[in-house]
Amino acid sequence: MKKLFFFCAMIKILSGANAQSVIRGEYFVNADFGYGNGTSFVISNTGEDVAQALNIPFSAFPGEGYHFVFFRTRDSNGLWSQTTRRLVQVGQNTADATAVRGEYFIDEDYGVGSGTTFNINPSSSDIAQGLTIPFNAFQSPGYHYVFFRTLDIENTWSSTARRLVQVDDQLGEVQIANVEYFFDNDLSFGSNAALVLTASSDSTWQILIPPTELPQKPNWTFANDSLFLRVKENTKTSWGITTRVEQLVCSAPTDALISGPSLVCNGESASFIASADSTNNSTSYSWTGPGGFSASEANSGEVASEGTYTCIISNGVGCTVSVSHELHFYLFTRPNISITGPTAKGLGETVNLIAVIENAIENYSITWLKNGIPFFVTTPPGLSASYNKGPEDNDTITAVLGNSTGVPCYPNDTSAFLEVHLTPSGTWLKEEPRNLSIYPNPASTFTTISKCDLGSAILSIYNSQGALMKKVLMTDCIHLLSTVDLPAGLYVVFLDNKMGNRTKQLLVID
């Protein structure tokens, strides 16, 4: 049979974190196809330090001659070790050769047979043997290469293996105190982004890298770059071996929220603002919502549809967080109020008035006004008011339906006008047709004027002193009227159509 190639792997986990057990390994020949893609082998005795033989069949090599064999191990946390490389010579030997002795040398190879020899005990074709090298064999503390090879009973030397070791002249417990890291550009030892740690020999540290220290390259993410780090002991001026970090945790923005209303009045609009901690100038926002809504700023802009609005916040390096917000409209049935009263009254006689209410909420109130001046307030079950007719030729009676329960979006509505005229033979009452609607009323910044007929009409607004404040031509059924320039107070709104008919309503500006 063809020879199986043997390696003795002395494996030790070295890190500044809690040591973990080695549980499996992998190898590949001549080319590294990536972590997890090699030929897997099981670690028979798991632990921090393991010594295990590795047999590779002749068929794994593309042919005779010299080849590189790479191998690495994986611990119980799923982290891979650094990759180790061996140069091997592959031949057609049909029997295993027994290794009888070996030699090693430091930093420089002086030729086969010229190194420091060591015995192999017992002699075998498969060996696992520790090698102790005295401190004085090294010229100085620091990093050195140790080379070694073996000789078999056929007087044939193996290929030479190499190990990078760090020689320390300080005995005692090693304590890690500093860490530095970099991505694709090493600025030299001690010149990269650094962290100062509480000195410890056996601890776990979480390294938080702020977005400002990430590579400032277009479309950069953790997935398309590598992070390197190295550590330094508290008693040393030299740094340890540089290690490539295989597993990174992308720190997404935290405490994400959307600020804005959840309930708005029917027909109104709303806007939202998305925010989160750990954002920066590269943070992006992506909004989606009902009806194909989309936006790309922290402020959503105006929205006018019910439903769920979602914003995905990205910190610019592929780490995202999603947050959603529900918007609903408050629906209501508009209330209606009208006034009934006597058909005739003389000077000094009592005018009895009754309000008729439809679709009103509970606990409403009715404010009665004569010629724009309040004279009585009623609450359910009371719906009536009265006054004594004075000498004025005309009394304009109005009743304002108030919202005393604080229900959002509920409109205050004004009744139709009731005019009381004084005549020599007494009084007569006339109720105007109710084809003019004003809402909201009272108003603060704007109000909506609506009329029933489809023709054009002149809209006139007078203050309580009879001064004309606004005059507008209404060509549509609905007109949005700005009231910002009107002082707070009571106003009379007249609507005159082409037929010469006039309708009136009271408007309150608060």
* β-strand pairing of 350-358 with 336-340: antiparallel
| Confidence category of residue 166, pLDDT binned at 50, 70, 90 | confident
Domain annotation covers residue 348: yes
Main-chain dihedrals φ then ψ at residue 481, nearest 5 degrees = -105, 125
Q: Is 498 left (phi over 0), alpha (psi -120 to 50) or beta?
A: alpha
- Torsion, Cα 114 116 119 123, to 10 degrees, reads -40
Q: Which of 315, 330, 345 is the last residue of a domain?
A: 330
Cα–Cα distances in Å, from 289 out to 272, 273, 305, 308? 12, 14, 9, 6
* β-strand pairing of 336-340 with 468-474: unpaired
More confident residue, 362 or 431: 362
| Confidence category of residue 162, pLDDT binned at 50, 70, 90 | confident
Domain annotation covers residue 250: no
* Average pLDDT rounded to a whole number, residues 234-255: 72
Cα–Cα distances in Å, from 463 out to 402, 440, 490? 21, 18, 6
Instruction: For residue 309, count other CB atoms closer than 10 A to its CB.
Output: 23
In whole angstroms, what is the distance from residue 393 CA to residue 423 CA? 7
Domain annotation covers residue 251: no
Query: In this structure, what token pair is assigned to residue 428?
Result: 């007569």
* Average pLDDT rounded to a whole number, residues 61-83: 86
Note the pLDDT of residue 247: 57
| Same-domain check for residues 141 and 25 | yes
- Contact criterion met (CB below 8 Å) for 456 and 475: yes
Query: In this structure, what token pair is assigned to residue 239?
Result: 């740094």
| Same-domain check for residues 310 and 400 | no
Q: Which of 289, 310, 330 is the last residue of a domain?
A: 330
Domain annotation covers residue 212: yes
pLDDT above 60 for 466? yes
| Same-domain check for residues 450 and 427 | no
Cα–Cα distances in Å, from 421 out to 188, 347, 400? 100, 10, 21
| Same-domain check for residues 382 and 398 | yes
- With 0-12 / 13-18 / 19 or more C-beta atoms within 10 angstroms meaning exposed / middle / buried, residue 256 is buried
Amino acid in the structure at residue 300 = S
176: β partners? 200, 233
| Same-domain check for residues 495 and 359 | no
In whole angstroms, what is the distance from residue 340 CA to residue 24 CA? 95
Kindly report the CATH number assigned to the domain that includes residue 318.
Answer: 2.60.40.10
* Average pLDDT rounded to a whole number, residues 97-111: 87
| Same-domain check for residues 17 and 112 | yes
Kindly report the CATH number assigned to the domain that includes residue 488.
Answer: 2.60.40.1930
- With 0-12 / 13-18 / 19 or more C-beta atoms within 10 angstroms meaning exposed / middle / buried, residue 338 is middle
11-15, 141-145, 246-250: lowest mean pLDDT where? 11-15
Domain annotation covers residue 47: yes
* Average pLDDT rounded to a whole number, residues 333-345: 72
- Contact criterion met (CB below 8 Å) for 377 and 368: yes
Q: Which of 431, 448, 477 is the last residue of a domain?
A: 431
pTM, to two decimals = 0.34
More confident residue, 32 or 426: 32
| Same-domain check for residues 270 and 221 | no
Query: In this structure, what token pair is assigned to residue 493?
Result: 């709104």
| Same-domain check for residues 85 and 105 | yes
* Average pLDDT rounded to a whole number, residues 470-489: 86
* Average pLDDT rounded to a whole number, residues 46-55: 72
| Same-domain check for residues 260 and 303 | yes
| Same-domain check for residues 163 and 24 | yes
pLDDT in tens, 381-415: 778 889 888 877 778 888 887 765 556 666 555 55
Provide the b/e sequence for 211-245 (b: ≥16 CB within 10 Å). Answer: beebeeeeebebeeeebbbbbbbeebeebbebbee
Domain annotation covers residue 352: yes
pLDDT above 60 for 171? no
Note the pLDDT of residue 92: 63
| Same-domain check for residues 159 and 12 | yes
In whole angstroms, what is the distance from residue 180 CA to residue 196 CA? 9
Query: In this structure, what token pair is assigned to residue 344?
Result: 């005739």
Note the pLDDT of residue 370: 85
Please count the structural domains in the chain: 5
- Domain ranges, residue 34: 5-167
Amino acid in the structure at residue 16 = G
What is the DSSP code string of 85-112? Answer: EEEEEE---SSPPPEEEEEEEESS---T
| Same-domain check for residues 442 and 466 | yes
* Average pLDDT rounded to a whole number, residues 229-255: 74
